Amino acid sequence: MAKKPGKSAFVFIFITILLSMIGFGVIMPVMPQLIMDVTGEDVSHAAKWGGYLSVVYAIMQFIMMPVIGGLSDRFGRRPVMLSSLAAYSFDFLIMAIAPTIGIILVARILAGAFAATYSTANAYIADISTPEKRAANFGLMGAAFGVGFIIGPGIGGFLGEHFGPRAPFYFVAATGAVNFLFGFFAMPETLLPENRRKFDWRRANALGSFKQFAQYPIMLPIAAVLFFAQLAHWTYPSIWSYYSIEKFGWSEAMIGASLMYMGLLSGLVQGGLTRVAIPRLGERRAALIGMSVTAVAYLCFALADKTWMVFAILTFSAIGGLAQPSLQGIMSRTIPPNAQGELQGAIAALNSLTMVFSPWIMTQMFSAFSSPGEPYSLFGLTVLPEGAPFYFPGAPLVFAFVLEVFALLLLFQAFKRIQRPREEETPMPQVENELEQPAPERP
């Protein structure tokens, strides 16, 4: 290392994660209009392409996260982080000037690959943090993640409204380039040559994380609940922009404002309400309440016909944020302490897998029910030979409601399965005796 990492290195990593999430959110309000501009199609057909773009991005994220993390262990944090950031910025410049949907598709594939820098960023934070400050620094990285998701759609909506749908892509490209220059001077290498390991493709495998669930079968029902709940959840980022344009005629700024409001409420619930509500309600009850609220919200969104209704439902639906941390807490208590890291990796991999399937399903369903009479295929099979029988752009939200209700039913079964082994356990005699003895009085 030429120099020890200082505060500027930490600031660089914070900004990198922040910009990654801003880049994810900034394009959401303008992507429908950009696709319509390059294809000449309406919003229902643009949604199909939006689904393809989301799927290839998610696939590349799923594949490349462990790969890039492994490369950073082999070649060091600095070259991997800087090269990924440079490629990511250049990729957004390509999308900004792309004349065809084919070029945009290739650009999104590359964006998914080069945006998978979270593992390297977290490894760098672990390298430069003392043990007593490591948890706090990881918390700040989580804050960057949340703040980026909140302000990204707002920036994208503002730029798209006033400067056109390509402006947010130029913005991400420019800020990424500036951050690259900052990192070039502020980010020293932290992984010493003697601590580097050979790259192994067998270890750079996201699917390997699922072995964690197989090792602890009692977690499988909760994992199934998370899978179906997350399939439903990705309906929002998949079709929100297209749905709001088709149903309410919203502008880019309005779409961005609604997404900002959604992110802000989510942050308040995750950072505040969960700390108060879950201890009082208990994890099981909080999970059931959160998922029930989420299911009702999907159905209400599908039936809403006025803008004020949407924002009222958004406020109500934020309570659904109680479910995810409650489910994770339940899972974490069913496995030993030395397997907690693998559990979180398995949950992240499961979430990434739902990102691959859900956007494609939801956007294709939206397209079909926004253009009735056209053939609709699912996984290559013609589901509705005559096309959607009626016009109902809220169909994906109703499907999300069905998925959430199914996840709720699975959750009830999971609670029974988790409770049964505990009830069948026979306590050891010495433990019973210890429990029966009164606690000694304190002097």
| CATH code assigned to 205-423 | 1.20.1250.20
Kindly report, residue by residue over 105-130, the tens digit of the pLDDT. Answer: 998 888 888 776 666 777 777 777 77
Cβ neighbours of residue 339 under 8 Å, at least 6 residues apart?
Answer: 212, 215, 216
The rounded distance, in Å, linking the Cα atoms of 20 and 14 is 10
- 118 or 262, higher pLDDT: 262
> What confidence score (pLDDT) does residue 129 get?
72
Residue 174 pLDDT class (50, 70, 90 cuts): very high
> What confidence score (pLDDT) does residue 434 get?
37
Mean pLDDT of 324-342: 67
Kindly report, residue by residue over 200-244, the tens digit of the pLDDT. Answer: 666 556 666 566 666 666 677 888 888 899 899 989 888 999 999
Mean of the per-residue pLDDT values of the chain: 79
Mean pLDDT of 288-308: 93
pLDDT reading at 424 higher than 50: no
The SS3 of residue 382 is: strand
Domain covering 1-191, topology: Growth Hormone; Chain: A; (1.20.1250)
Kindly report, residue by residue over 351-400, the tens digit of the pLDDT. Answer: 778 888 888 899 888 888 887 655 555 555 545 444 567 788 899 999 99
Quote the DSSP letter at residue 428: -
> What confidence score (pLDDT) does residue 348 get?
67
pLDDT reading at 326 higher than 50: yes
- 203 or 134, higher pLDDT: 134
The rounded distance, in Å, linking the Cα atoms of 308 and 196 is 55
> What confidence score (pLDDT) does residue 278 get?
82
Kindly report, residue by residue over 57-89, the tens digit of the pLDDT. Answer: 888 877 777 777 677 777 878 888 888 888 888
Q: Where do the domains of the chain lie?
A: 1-191, 205-423
Q: Using alpha carbons, select from 311, 314, 26 the residue that is nearest to residue 157.
A: 26
Write the DSSP string, 40-74.
Answer: ---HHHHHHHHHHHHHHHHHHHHHHHHHHHHHHHH
